[in-house]
Structure 1
Amino acid sequence: MAESLETDLKHPEKPPTARPSFWSQPSARASGSGRVLAVVNPSAGELVASESFDVPLLKPLQAQLSSYGVKLEQLVLKPQGFGPALRARLGDDLLAIYVFGGDGTVLAVVEALGEDRVPIAILPQGTMNWMARDLGIPAESEQAMRVLLDPEVRLIDLGQVNGHPFLCACMLGIAALLARYRERDRHRSRWWRWPVLFFAALRLWGRYPYLRMTLVGDGERQRLRSRTLVVVNNRLERALRRLPFRDRLDGGVLELYAMRRASVQRLRALLGRLMAGSWGMDDVLLTQTSAAVRIEVAGLNHLPVLVDGEIRRLQTPLSFSLQPRTLPMLVPREDS
């Protein structure tokens, strides 16, 4: 498949006579030259990490970018030293970062960038690929690369929890525990993995302790007793879908979701409706804030939090906020 794409890109029907709009924008900060950094996560999604691996799309991507006078560099995401390695590649001639990975890989890039802002493109290779899906990027990496060769920049909100960034959602309670099961079995077939997670959730729900929380936001305090809580960066669409979807990523609002009635029977019914794509908002307790919320948790000084699919152990209380329209992302052009 990549060979076919490479042939198409090397021999287009009409060779480009001008750069796509993104490459000619003043924000590119370069005239006639520039760099794109490809960040590759060899263990993203269901891939198996190894010292030697190949990303077939890198070669045709390099060929196409070179036709615009843009050089492609590669950086492998490794557990140790990734932040300094990425920051060493920054410079005025760095036009964009293309991320080959999932939500956790994108988050690692954002964390490494800190206050620096470089447009980020996502070539989905993760488990959920929530961020790419909400940006309108095709799930198949080859199709995603085609539309992201002529992208446009969209500024989105950046979430913060205790100073740590997040793009999609943070999960407390049983959701963080289930993520450990997911990581343990990530290299197994999804047809084996998801049923195991389903029954693990049912088994753990009756035994997992309730979190006694106080939600502080918009000048109000609200007590909540639940086994799990999800804080989402911007609103979830109310239309029924099998997977969560946000139609806006710059709305400047956080939404909180928790189970309203948390019996095992209730959970079994909800999980069944989630799989069938027929769940409704009456299944959850919804609390909305304008831009910030603090979550106090009784009896716990630290708490494991699932941040965009990655486990973080954070100190309580948890302080959530949004930086509105601050993160530049590369998305398909509306006329593409």
Structure 2
Amino acid sequence: MTSNTDPAKPPLLFVMNAASGHNDATATRAAIEEILAREQRTYRIHVIEDPRHIGETARKAVEEAKARGEVVVAVGGDGTINAVANAVLGSGCTLGVLPQGTFNYFGRAHHISEDIEEALHALLNAQPQPVQAGLLNGRIFLVNASVGLYPQLLEDREAFKQQYGRSRLVALWSGLRTLLHHHRQLRITLEEGGQARNLRTPTLVIGNNPLQMEQVGIPLAEDIKGGQLAAIAVKPVGVLGMLWLVIRGAVGKLGDAENVINFSFTRLVVKPSSLYRSRRVKAAIDGETIWIDAPLKFRVSPVPLLLLKPVLQPAAQGETEENAQ
């Protein structure tokens, strides 16, 4: 750790998930230490050794950072960033991120490089900007939250990663196997703006990431940028129909499919059918599965995250957006 007293260069607390992403944690830590020592920045590194306690560890780290006037920097994939952001939201601390996961939708949407050295240099010159956060029963989500098929896809993908390693090819292979074996349909009621409608669907996804919407072809990216969330549901289809929708999503044409429902909102209540014995629902938040009490209340957080975002020139910003797509 180095030290400085420049108020324009606040101290940094790195919260790093040793088990996250495809990069070696030792190499990542070495890169952080080398660059910050060279730049004479005050910093600390907190390594999360046990991912099972990531939420509790993140909360304690943010409490320390608030007392010390530190910027909290999450180092890991979307799940790690979510855990740290959940602790940062409303704390008064500023958040920085060094994306190290498989898909890194949050970092890519905000033009933060996946290259550790490039991301670090950008972080040291970044400016804090407010960023929208979604909430599911009070829990933050930055990329998406979902129920039904999507959480099962994530659980199966994690099992495949443990066996075959972390890569986008492994994630795709796992997803195809899940689609072939998952046949359950959700029966839910959607309540928005005083109106209710019943829906039968294999999955409901609530998105808060414009880049992800653009990539699968859902025309709600601008709505998210304008302060709303995006809802995507699939009408009941067979296995072949679901596989066809996956292919359409892969080529950015999901929004044109007649079996896909999508709309934007700021508040949405989702109630499971009374046929369900349990009032607890399996959900996924930014790539991590959880059990949560129904009804499910989705909304835009009234308090934004304060995120350190790279300072981009207009020409460079256009190039970055093109590369992200």
Judge same fold: TM > 0.5, yes or no: yes
- Give the aligned partner of residue 134 of structure 1: 109
SS in 2 for 1:55: helix
Q: Work out whether residues 146 and 283 of structure 2, in 8 Å CA contact, stay in contact via their aligned partners in 1.
A: yes
Query: Residue 20 of structure 2 is aligned with which of 44, 50, 57?
Result: 44
- Give the structure 2 partner of residue 82 of structure 1: 57
Q: Which residue of 2 aligns with 1:193?
A: 170
Write the deviation string for residues 276-309 of structure 1: whole angstroms up to 9, x where unpaired: 34443435201322x1110001124011100011
Which residue among 270, 290, 298 is the counterpart of 1:320?
Answer: 298
Does the C-alpha gap of structure 1 residues 38 and 65 become closer, same or farther in structure 2, counting only changes over 3 Å?
Answer: farther
1:152 aligns with 127
Show the counterpart of 1:203.
Answer: 180
Percent same amino acid among aligned pairs?
A: 24
- Tell me the amino acid that sits aligned with residue 200 of structure 1: R
Aligned match of 1:63 in 34, 37, 42? Answer: 37
- Larger helix proportion of the pair: 2
Q: Give me the whole-angstrom Cα distance separating, in 2, the residues matched to 1:116 and 1:267.
A: 42
Question: Residues 165 and 192 of structure 1: is their aligned pair in 2 closer, same or farther, counting only changes over 3 Å?
Answer: closer
Q: Which SS does the other structure have where 2:114 is aligned? A: coil
| Amino acid in the other structure paired with 1:203 | L
Does the CA contact (< 8 Å) of 2:89 and 2:304 recur in 1? no
Q: Is residue 284 of structure 1 aligned with residue 255 of structure 2?
A: no
For residue 97 of structure 1, report the CA deviation from its aligned partner. 1.7
CA distance in structure 1 between the aligned counterparts of 2:133 and 2:310, rounded to whole angstroms: 20
Give the corresponding residue for 1:311.
Answer: 289
Q: For 1:89, what is the secondary structure of its paired residue?
A: helix
Structure 1 outlier segments of 4+, above 6 Å: 242-245
1:184 deviation in Å?
A: 1.2
Secondary structure class of the residue paired with 2:65: coil
CA RMSD of aligned residues (A): 3.0
* AA matched with 2:301: Q
Q: In the alignment, is residue 267 of structure 1 matched against residue 227 of structure 2?
A: no
Partner residue of 2:226 out of 248, 251, 254: 251
Of residues 192-201 and 73-82 in structure 1, the stretch that sits farther from structure 2 once superposed is 192-201
Cα deviation code 1:43-101 (max 9, x no counterpart): 1124688xx776232123322441xxx31101112433404531442235434122210
> What is the letter of the counterpart of residue 60 of structure 1?
E
Amino acid at match of 2:72: I
Shift of 1:334: 2.5
Cα pair distance change 1:174/1:48, threshold 3 Å: farther
Structure 1 range deviating more: 93-102 or 315-324: 93-102
Letter aligned with residue 297 of structure 2 = S
* Superposed displacement of residue 236, structure 1: 6.2
| Structure 2 equivalent of residue 184 of structure 1 | 159
Is 235-244 or 280-289 further displaced after alignment? 235-244
Provide the residue aligned with 2:198 in structure 1.
223
Distance change (3 Å), C-alpha of 1:226 and 1:37: same
Partner of 1:295: 270
Q: Distance in 2 between matches of 1:164 and 1:113?
A: 12
CA distance in 2, matches of 1:243, 1:222: 21
Secondary structure at 2:11's aligned position in 1?
strand
Cα gap change, 1:231 to 1:32, in 2 (>3 Å): closer
Find the aligned partners of 1:230 and 1:241 in 2 and give their Cα distance: 13
Say which SS state the counterpart of residue 263 (structure 2) adopts.
strand
Counterparts in 2 of 1:30 and 1:149: CA distance versus 1, 3 Å:
closer
Which residue type is aligned with residue 160 of structure 1?
Answer: L
From the CA coordinates, give the structure whose radius of gyration is larger: 1
Gaps of 5+ in 1: 1-22, 24-28
What count of residue pairs does the alignment treat as equivalent? Answer: 301
Q: Is 2:105–2:212's contact at 8 Å kept on the other side of the alignment?
A: no
Structure 2 residue matching 1:184: 3-state secondary structure: helix
Q: Quick one: distance in 2 between partners of 1:198 and 1:42?
A: 25
What SS is found at the alignment partner of 2:66?
A: coil
Which sections of structure 2, spanning at least 5 residues, go unmatched? 317-325
Could you tell me whether the CA contact under 8 Å between 1:45 and 1:125 is conserved in 2?
Answer: yes
Cα gap change, 1:327/1:250 in structure 2, threshold over 3 Å: closer, same or farther? Answer: farther
Cα deviation code 1:130-162 (max 9, x no counterpart): 110111112222222222221011201221111
2:104 counterpart letter in structure 1: N
Q: 2 CA distance for matches of 1:163 and 1:305?
A: 14
Q: 1:111 is aligned with what amino acid? A: N
**CA 1:213–1:324 in structure 2 vs 1: closer, same or farther (change >3 Å)?**
same
3-state DSSP of counterpart to 1:295: strand
SS of the residue aligned with 1:214? Answer: strand
